[in-house]
């Protein structure tokens, strides 16, 4: 069986974490499976590299930022390959460009155009574990690119689709997807199954898997499981096309979970929804998180976009149009 695994930065944060990951990967390999392992940068390395650039220059060209940021995953891939060799498991590490991830030319937020996994297949045939640096690829004009935040998830799903892997495991520091943030809600429940659409909603509200990767999994019908990196055999959360695949789901409660976001501003306005939407579109503000009744519309704004909102939706009391709630 061919399995693609993805280890996040917290699971590789220290040499001890990397050695532990290598031991778990070795166990899966010795069970007879072929393995491709996608890695993120160690711990907070990406943030540290960004801070390093900002402390060095006032403005960093995006091309050079890609050159800088891709080094984080390269460190992880090489160290993990070394740790696997020490476990007696043959392994080889590849950058995104070496393993055939071809992207467009948009630096710092590139999109994958195609995957040419010939080198990966060749090394799998030699019975090696293939370690791939996530978050990165190469454009057709041979420029190094990055896929934006959460790009390692996208790398893993794209490789699973291209290789026809039986499973794609997103291994992280939580048990899976929960019905609410367990740090806020004490009795939040682990969701054993979750549809792609539900997972997209959770991801947009800050869940552990990136929305782009979930959309890719849905399009190519990739079998994705989100599980704890400390125990990749745990049940975790299995993504499915529809809840018809879950026994007894016909009359399941329709509310599956509650998402949360910090620092948002809530607006209430008596403007009709169409006028409000047109006004906000004029300042490139997407009306996404909103609810409405016959008498008012409520919507959320990120703190940095409040200034955009008030240019088209007045907040003065005398207008009687909108109230800034929080």
Torsion of CA 132, 138, 140, 141, to 10 degrees: -140
Indicate whether 147 and 282 sit together in one domain: no
DSSP 275-322: HHHHHHHTTT----SEEE-SS-EEEEE-GGGHHHHHHHS---GGG-SE
DSSP 110-173: --EEEE--HHHHHHHHTTPEEEEE-SEEEETTS-EEE--TTHHHHHHHHHHHHHT-SEEEEEES
Indicate whether 143 and 27 sit together in one domain: yes
- Per residue in 115-163, pLDDT (tens digit) is 999 999 999 999 999 999 999 999 999 999 999 878 999 999 999 999 9
**Domain of residue 291, residue span:** 265-324
3-state SS of the chain: helix, strand, coil percent to 5?
A: 35, 20, 40
Indicate whether 73 and 113 sit together in one domain: yes
pLDDT band at 305; cut points 50, 70, 90: confident
Q: What is the pLDDT of residue 314?
A: 62
Q: What is the pLDDT of residue 84?
A: 99
Indicate whether 212 and 303 sit together in one domain: no
The C-alpha atoms of residue 10 and residue 230 are separated, in whole angstroms, by 11
Those residues with Cβ within 8 angstroms of residue 104's Cβ, 6 or more apart along the chain or in another chain: 110, 111, 113, 139, 145
Indicate whether 174 and 271 sit together in one domain: no
Least confident of 6-15, 38-47, 147-156, 191-200: 191-200
CB atoms within 10 A of CB 173: 13
Asked whether residue 326 carries a pLDDT value surpassing 70, the answer given is no
- Please tell me the pTM assigned to this model: 0.78
Domain boundary among 245, 274, 308: 245
- Type and span of the H or E element at 61: none
| Higher per-residue pLDDT: 209 or 146 | 146
Those residues with Cβ within 8 angstroms of residue 322's Cβ, 6 or more apart along the chain or in another chain: 267, 268, 269, 270, 271, 313, 314, 315
Indicate whether 226 and 303 sit together in one domain: no
Note whether residue 235 is domain-resident.
Answer: yes
On average, the pLDDT of the chain sits at 86
Q: What is the pLDDT of residue 311?
A: 75
Note whether residue 205 is domain-resident.
Answer: yes
Instruction: Give the CATH number for residue 7.
Output: 3.40.1160.10
Note whether residue 256 is domain-resident.
Answer: no
Instruction: Give the CATH number for residue 315.
Output: 3.30.70
Highest mean pLDDT among 66-80, 183-197, 224-238, 264-278: 66-80
SS3 19: helix
Nearest C-alpha neighbor of 210 from the set 46, 25, 8: 8
The C-alpha atoms of residue 146 and residue 132 are separated, in whole angstroms, by 14
Q: Which residues on adjacent β-strands are paired with residue 292?
A: 297
Report residue 307 as tokens: 């200034």
Q: How much of the chain, in percent, has pLDDT values that exceed 90?
A: 56
| Higher per-residue pLDDT: 255 or 83 | 83
The number of folded domains in the chain is 2
Q: Which residues on adjacent β-strands are paired with residue 304?
A: none
Note whether residue 153 is domain-resident.
Answer: yes
Q: What is the pLDDT of residue 316?
A: 40
Indicate whether 20 and 59 sit together in one domain: yes
Indicate whether 274 and 311 sit together in one domain: yes
Highest mean pLDDT among 109-123, 188-202, 234-248, 295-309: 109-123
Domain boundary among 210, 245, 280: 245
Note whether residue 259 is domain-resident.
Answer: no
Mean pLDDT of 189-214: 78
- Is the Cβ–Cβ distance between 199 and 178 less than 8 Å? no
* Residue ranges of E strands in 147-255: 167-172, 193-195, 224-228, 237-240
Domain boundary among 192, 217, 245: 245
Indicate whether 29 and 176 sit together in one domain: yes
Q: How much of the chain, in percent, has pLDDT values that exceed 70?
A: 87
Indicate whether 286 and 165 sit together in one domain: no
Indicate whether 304 and 228 sit together in one domain: no
Indicate whether 162 and 282 sit together in one domain: no
Note whether residue 241 is domain-resident.
Answer: yes
Note whether residue 257 is domain-resident.
Answer: no
Note whether residue 258 is domain-resident.
Answer: no
Classify residue 167 as exposed, middle or buried by CB count within 10 Å of its CB (0-12, 13-18, 19+). Answer: middle
pLDDT band at 208; cut points 50, 70, 90: low
- Per residue in 221-280, pLDDT (tens digit) is 999 999 998 887 788 999 988 766 555 555 555 545 555 566 677 777 888 778 888 888
The C-alpha atoms of residue 87 and residue 22 are separated, in whole angstroms, by 7
């Amino acid at each position: 069986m061919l399995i693609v695994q993805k280890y996040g930065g917290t699971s590789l944060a220290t040499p001890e974490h990397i050695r532990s990951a290598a031991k778990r990967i070795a166990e899966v390999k010795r069970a007879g499976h072929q393995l491709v392992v996608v890695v993120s940068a160690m711990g907070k390395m990406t943030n540290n590299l960004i801070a390093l650039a900002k402390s060095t220059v006032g403005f960093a060209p995006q091309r050079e930022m890609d050159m800088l940021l891709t080094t984080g995953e390269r460190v992880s891939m090489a160290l993990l390959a070394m740790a696997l060799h020490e476990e007696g498991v043959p392994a080889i590490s590849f950058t995104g460009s070496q393993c055939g991830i071809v992207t467009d030319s948009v630096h710092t937020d590139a999109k994958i155009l195609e995957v040419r996994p010939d080198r990966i297949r060749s090394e799998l045939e030699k019975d090696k574990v293939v370690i791939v640096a996530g978050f990165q690829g190469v454009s057709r004009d041979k420029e190094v690119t990055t896929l934006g935040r959460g790009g390692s998830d996208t790398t893993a799903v794209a490789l699973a689709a291209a290789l026809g892997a039986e499973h794609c495991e997103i291994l992280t520091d939580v048990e899976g997807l929960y019905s609410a943030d367990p740090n806020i809600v004490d009795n939040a429940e682990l969701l054993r199954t979750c549809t792609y659409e539900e997972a997209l909603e959770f991801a947009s509200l800050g869940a552990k898997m990136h929305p782009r990767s979930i959309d890719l999994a849905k399009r190519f019908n990739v079998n994705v499981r989100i599980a704890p990196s400390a125990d990749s055999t745990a049940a975790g959360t299995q993504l499915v096309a529809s809840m018809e695949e879950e026994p007894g789901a016909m009359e399941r409660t329709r509310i599956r979970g509650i998402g949360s976001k910090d620092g948002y501003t809530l607006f209430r306005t008596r403007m009709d929804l169409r006028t409000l939407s047109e006004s906000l579109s004029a300042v490139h503000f997407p009306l996404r998180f909103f609810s409405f009744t016959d008498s008012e519309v409520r919507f959320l704004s990120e703190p940095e976009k409040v200034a955009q909102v008030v240019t088209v939706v007045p907040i003065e009391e005398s207008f009687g149009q909108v109230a800034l709630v929080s």
